Amino acid sequence: MELFKPIPAAAGTNQEFSMPSILTCDDCGKQSLAALVHLNGSTCPFCGGLFRMPARARIAMLADADTFIETDETLTSTDPLKFPKYSEKLKKAKADSGLTDAIVTGTCAIEGYPAALAVMDSYFMMGSMGAVVGEKICDLAEIALAKRLPLIIVSASGGARMQEGMISLLQMTRTTMAVNKLGDAGLLYVSVLTHPTTGGVTASFAMQGDVILAEPKALIGFAGPRVITQTVNEELPDAFQKAEYLYQQGMIDGIVKRGELKAALAQILALHADNREASHDQ
């Protein structure tokens, strides 16, 4: 069964996207023009609150200018289960996000350090993981392995893509195994969790980083708070499943402001590069 295919070259990836033109800040409730918000690092111009960041804007923020070389840029889902209304949803998500699926992958330099970089986009079907997202992560991990590059994945996901059923769940195993191989080869994997990172993505590669960072106030969890409350029949702490709570509990290694993420990643890449040189010298 064919799960994905390259789209015809003429269709290409569409850099322009038709997102909502007005966005409302979760933190201060004020409205801003989306174009202004995304020019400003997808942050609220009034209070600095974080909006979801489009993948290409995130890549522009993290990768050194003109260094990003995209991989698998034309892969798109074939709607393998012919799930009702999925093909219409895919069409709309492509128009809304300017992407062919919910992740952009490639290689780049970050403050001069070479890296493999994957960025999920929650404007594409809430960043859900189907066969294309799984395949692109596995391919990128293979590239990182072959070129001995550190891997960075910036996650933003509602979880598995239900329209791809079991095929979508399979991607949890595939991506888990793919990033594990990097660890076996002594290569660094840094996972960056952004709002929201939930479901099958949290239950696979997103929590497997050697270093796991998160953006402030990001919701990170498997099932949502309502499902958990009903299951365990207990009141949950206030900030339950927020990045700050997970940090306190030792589940993640650090919380990094969006504007400081590139410098933080560069520092981790530098430390790892130094260590590798030191261990080669011995």
Binding mask 29-68 for Zn ion (x = CB under 5 A): ---------------x-xx-x-------------------
Smallest gap from Cβ 51 to Zn ion, in A, equals 9
Smallest gap from Cβ 36 to Zn ion, in A, equals 12
Bond before 196 cis per omega within 30 degrees: yes
**Helix, strand, coil percentages in the chain from 3-state DSSP, rounded to 5:** 40, 20, 40
Is 96 one of the binding residues for Zn ion (CB under 5 A)?
A: no
Q: Residue 28 or 177: which CB sits closer to Zn ion?
A: 28
Q: Mark the segment that binds Zn ion (CB under 5 A) among 25-33, 92-100, 173-181, 220-228.
A: 25-33
Residue 185 burial class via C-beta count within 10 angstroms: exposed 0-12, middle 13-18, buried 19 and up: exposed
Q: How many CA atoms lie within 13 A of 269 on its CB side?
A: 24
Amino acid present at 14: N
Could you say which residues in the range 180-219 bind Zn ion, by CB under 5 A?
none
Residue 234 burial class via C-beta count within 10 angstroms: exposed 0-12, middle 13-18, buried 19 and up: exposed
Is 23 one of the binding residues for Zn ion (CB under 5 A)?
A: no
171 DSSP 8-state letter: H
Q: Residue 194 or 204: which CB sits closer to Zn ion?
A: 194
Smallest gap from Cβ 194 to Zn ion, in A, equals 17
Query: Which three-class secondary structure state does DSSP give residue 274?
Result: helix
Smallest gap from Cβ 45 to Zn ion, in A, equals 8
Q: Residue 47 or 69: which CB sits closer to Zn ion?
A: 47
Residues 178, 134: Cα–Cα separation, whole Å: 10
Note the helical H segments in 34-164.
Answer: 34-39, 55-62, 86-97, 131-147
Q: Residue 52 or 174: which CB sits closer to Zn ion?
A: 52
Structure-block tokens of residue 58: 């995130």
Q: Residue 49 or 158: which CB sits closer to Zn ion?
A: 49
Is 28 one of the binding residues for Zn ion (CB under 5 A)?
A: yes
Is 25 one of the binding residues for Zn ion (CB under 5 A)?
A: yes
Smallest gap from Cβ 26 to Zn ion, in A, equals 8
| Of 203, 225, 216, the residue nearest 260 (C-alpha) | 216
Q: Residue 43 or 241: which CB sits closer to Zn ion?
A: 43
Q: Residue 105 or 194: which CB sits closer to Zn ion?
A: 194
Smallest gap from Cβ 31 to Zn ion, in A, equals 9
Q: Please name the helix (run of DSSP H) or strand (run of DSSP E) that holds residue 195, with its range, or none.
A: strand 189-198
Count of residues binding Zn ion (CB under 5 A)? 7
Q: Which residues bind Zn ion (CB under 5 A)?
A: 25, 27-28, 44, 46-47, 49
